[in-house]
A and B are shown apart, each in its own frame.
Chain A
Amino acid sequence: MAIHEKTLIDPARLMTTDSLVVDGVDVSGHWNTMILPRYLTDYDDDFYKIIAAMPGGENVHRCWQCGSCTNSCTMYAQNTDFNPRYWIYLTNLGLKDEIIKDKDIIWTCVSCNKCTNICPKDVRPEGVMKALSHWMEEQGITPKASSSIFDEEFLDQVYETGRMEDGRIVYNFFKKTGQSLTQDWLVEVMKRMIKYMPVSFLMHMGLHLVFKPRTKKWERTQQVLREYVREQKAAAHTPQPKGVVHA
């Protein structure tokens, strides 16, 4: 049946196909509007293991939903949609879609740790908020945070040359985060550097920006380093294999 009174229904649950013919009858547009069911149809049993494998998320499965974290939360006081208790429940049942609905607020946790200090089961909700934000960033659900971009730029340079050049990191970081290089404060910094730094130092920096010096015989070390970082990341993100129940 076509649905006429749509104002009562959450727009995300209304489904309309632009052109549709059923049994020879054209029911394009308005006429085929359907309401998506409200019920939850499955859990992702192992999702909590992904969060538990991230720093801070280790104790997520301990939560018994008392709500002490939410009640004490700095951000909840600003916005009642910010609810760590709720997201922890969703994590444990693996209701990912429901978590993703709140992607734009989960990362706003200010790490005040009031929640962690009050939690009677030592769940460490602050850590879970960090882990969830991280997971969403990794999955591309939320854009990369500036801090992650900086980390990547830093690491890339080390991989490439075995050393890091301040100037180049700052330059690339600003470029990747879409920040102007002619911001007033930055221009002021440059001016003062030119004024107070020894000329030889500035020339050195300039040369390095152009020629990208490398640490000698870096290739071998580079391989080892890359491999090590890869292993560490994999270890941190591999859920415990099924069947291992004891810590």
Chain B
Amino acid sequence: MQNTVLVVGAGPAGLAAAAGVAGAGMNVVLVEKEDRLGGTPILSGYAKLVPSGEWAKDAMGRMIKRVEDVRGATIHKGAKVTKLDGEAGRFIATISNGKTVECGAVILATGFTHFDSINKPEWGFGTFEDVVTTTQVEQMVVAGKIACPSDGRVPDRVAILLCVGSRDRQIGREWCSKICCTVSTNLAMEIKELSPQTDVFIYYMDIRTFGLYEDRFYWKSQEEFKTKFVKARIAEVTKSPDGRLLVKGEDTLVKRPIVIPMDLVVHAIGMDPNEDNPEIAKVFGIALEKHGFIERAEHYTNTCGTTRRGIYAVGAALGPETIDDSISQGQAAAMRAVNDLHALVQKIA
């Protein structure tokens, strides 16, 4: 049991953790609740990933194959952990498919849940067909056509509204979802590539394309793809008599209210805590932080730790995170778990 690590969740973070554990010569048991591996980028059908530009299905496909092919990996799909007994070094996990797993450590890579735009009814999602989310536009890009769902026409104008379900005290979401600015500038370029006659407007409060994403995404989409950036937080989306949508708000730089016709309105939805988190906290005996993400231990020497010894957490389970960083954390947690198990073995010997 001290040479087995249990990984929960098979997104970018969990797949990296599983590959890391197996690569270090230990056994890994991967439990994924959906019947497919790859996590959100696969389940939600993302198009080209930031920052690599590689199609999600290719990039995630390689990660999945690596885990499927490696010696020492057991995969349970369509399954959840329902009970965890024991302590660090000798846990016994019960899986919903009836199996039990003896393991020395657990890595939680259970990710996030997309913000549901229905919770911001004033922005028209669920009321007007041509109000969609970034995940739907990702899927349009994969399908190779940008179109208004209402009648299939190619939009003359697209408005992307940033921070939908993030940075909003009204709905109890006080965090920045970190990647949606970059994803939105990337989508603006993909829209323009597929439909050169479409003008894309991004309505923003701040543009947070951090680090090297600044020039590669923000600057490029503005300078080469002529995306227009409008400083306004849209107050309301309605429909005009001619069937087009109207975005209403205050343009804070012109200091004037605006009512502008658009064909397609896109919500750049944020990352909520995984809706399973209360259940996960109970099953694994760990704490959640105030927003509902998994609470992390002091990071400097207890890297990837949670509030319980022997249980680690990585990726978007800890808060909004990018794919690249989720992968690095998965790999780091694998190293951490393996190290701790080695230390235990040495102590006992």
Contacts and interface: CB of A to CB of B under 8 A. Distances in A.
Interface of A: 38-43, 45, 61-62, 64-65, 86, 89-90, 92-93, 95, 98, 121, 242-247
Interface stretch (B50-58, B253-261, B294-302): B253-261
B248 to A, nearest CB: 8
A71 B38 CA distance: 50
Interface stretch (B8-16, B134-142, B225-233): B225-233
A40 B259 contact: yes
Nearest to A247: B224
A43 B254 contact: no
Nearest to B251: A40
A90 B253 CA distance: 9
10 contacts: A40-B251, A40-B258, A41-B260, A61-B223, A86-B254, A92-B228, A242-B196, A243-B197, A245-B192, A245-B193
B157 interface: yes
Interface of B: 157, 192-193, 196-197, 199, 201, 207, 219, 222-226, 228-231, 251, 253-254, 256-261
B260 A42 contact: yes
Given A40-B260, A42-B260, A43-B260, A86 B196 contact: no
Contact of A38 (B224, B253, B257, B260): B257
Nearest to B207: A64
A89 B201 CA distance: 13
A41 B262 CA distance: 11
B223 A38 contact: no
B256 A90 contact: no
A127 to B, nearest CB: 16
Question: Could you tell me the dominant secondary structure of chain A's interface residues?
Answer: loop
Contacts of A40: 251, 254, 256-260
Nearest to A244: B196
Contacts of B231: 65
Contacts of B226: 61, 245
Contacts of B258: 39-41
A51 to B, nearest CB: 13
Nearest to A95: B254
Contacts of A90: 254
Contacts of B222: 61-62, 64
A93 B260 CA distance: 11
Nearest to A89: B253
Contact of A245 (B157, B196, B254): B196
